[in-house]
Amino acid sequence: MAEVTYPDTFRCAQWTPYRIAVDMGLLRTEMEGGGARQRRLYRTMPHRFQLEFVMMTVELGAWQRWVNANAYDFFTMARLESFYSGELGEISSAHSIRFIGDLEIDNPTYGWVRVKVPAELDPRQQALYGPNTPPNNWLIAGTPPAPSTDHVIAGTPAAPSLPLVSAGTPARPAAII
């Protein structure tokens, strides 16, 4: 399936007002004696955005048609702000999001509309920023014809592979390690 990207021809989400709610997944239990106990429910913190788009009324038809067809599944929006853009040292960066609520449309002035919509961050968002630190678990595909025991011997394989290197991480890896 091809990666869906928010079209460059459409208006970007407004910088202000801009709200993000981050669910920290904290379960806290007060104790009668001693300090409260707390634990995290999950490692990937769900993010919810409240986005606003301001556009000319004549642009609304094409924009809403694209939203109805694509925005309720995950798609990439080029410029949003969050923890992830800060990790890159950027003000804004690409985010994989999907709309999760109704479109609220009002008319601030003649010929223009303001569209408000809630969105959520893809739980796989961290995968857009390259590989994670390996957990020292080995993933081995297949069985070599002459497996080594406890050491590796460098050399030329009997059947070398083609001179083709495909480096990098796919935009949507099958698994996050």
- Token code pair at residue 97: 């999001």
- Residue-wise pLDDT for 148-170, tens only, equals 566 666 666 666 666 655 555 55
Q: Which pTM was predicted?
A: 0.63
- Residue-wise pLDDT for 48-90, tens only, equals 899 999 999 999 999 999 999 999 999 999 888 887 788 888 8
- The DSSP secondary-structure symbol of 97 reads E
Residue type, 174: A
- Token code pair at residue 87: 């990790």
- Classify 57 as helix, strand or coil: helix
- Token code pair at residue 13: 């989400």
Task: Domain ranges for the chain, please list them.
Answer: 23-30+37-129
- Work out whether strand 75-80 and strand 93-99 pair parallel, antiparallel, or are unpaired: antiparallel
Distances (CA, A) of 96 to 48, 64, 85, 150: 12, 19, 12, 42
Given a contact cutoff of 8 angstroms between Cβ atoms, the answer to whether 37 and 28 are in contact is: yes
Q: Give Cα 154 to chain centroid, integer Å.
A: 39
- Residue-wise pLDDT for 79-115, tens only, equals 888 877 888 888 888 888 999 999 999 999 999 999 9
